[in-house]
């Protein structure tokens, strides 16, 4: 575990997730973001105290202090790590946070199905949607 960088656990089978990670990596000029594909054959969710079902159900991130965060807070933290946190800051504002977090949960549950509309494919043995 790198004690100085934020670790983003993302679904490499999800076309939206892949694009977002590519976009973030291009902006990570200070090398503050580590990314790990939860769909990779060698990924071990248990190394973070999680199950594969948990990490497939919602995006997870690991803060430099080792604390696990889930959902839209992960996106907010990843954007902050690469220096563009202002883009998603409104999703953390009172009132908007509640709406944004619920919208993310709906998206997360349907990301594989939605990804198929933009040409994404998912190995049925890895993705459960």
Q: What pLDDT, in 10s, does the model give residues 42-93?
A: 999 999 999 999 999 889 999 999 999 999 999 999 999 999 999 999 999 9
Rounded alpha-carbon distances, angstroms, from residue 20 to 75, 79, 92: 10, 10, 19
Domain range annotation of the chain = 6-116
Helix (H, G, I), strand (E, B) or coil at 10: strand
Q: What is the pTM of this model?
A: 0.84
Beta strands 60-62 and 33-37, pairing class: unpaired
Q: If you ran DSSP here, which 8-state letter would residue 105 be given?
A: H
């Amino acid at each position: 575990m790198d004690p100085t960088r934020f670790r983003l656990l993302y679904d490499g089978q999800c076309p939206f997730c892949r694009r977002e990670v590519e976009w973030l990596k291009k902006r990570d000029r200070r090398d503050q973001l580590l990314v790990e594909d939860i769909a990779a054959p060698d990924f071990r969710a248990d190394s973070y105290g999680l199950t594969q079902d948990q990490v497939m159900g919602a995006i997870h991130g690991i803060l430099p202090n080792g604390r696990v965060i889930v959902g839209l807070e992960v996106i907010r933290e990843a954007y902050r790590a690469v220096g563009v946190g202002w883009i998603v800051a409104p999703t953390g504002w009172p009132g908007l946070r509640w709406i944004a977090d619920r919208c993310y949960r709906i998206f997360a549950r349907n990301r594989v199905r939605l990804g198929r509309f933009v040409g994404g494919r998912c190995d049925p043995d890895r993705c459960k949607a």
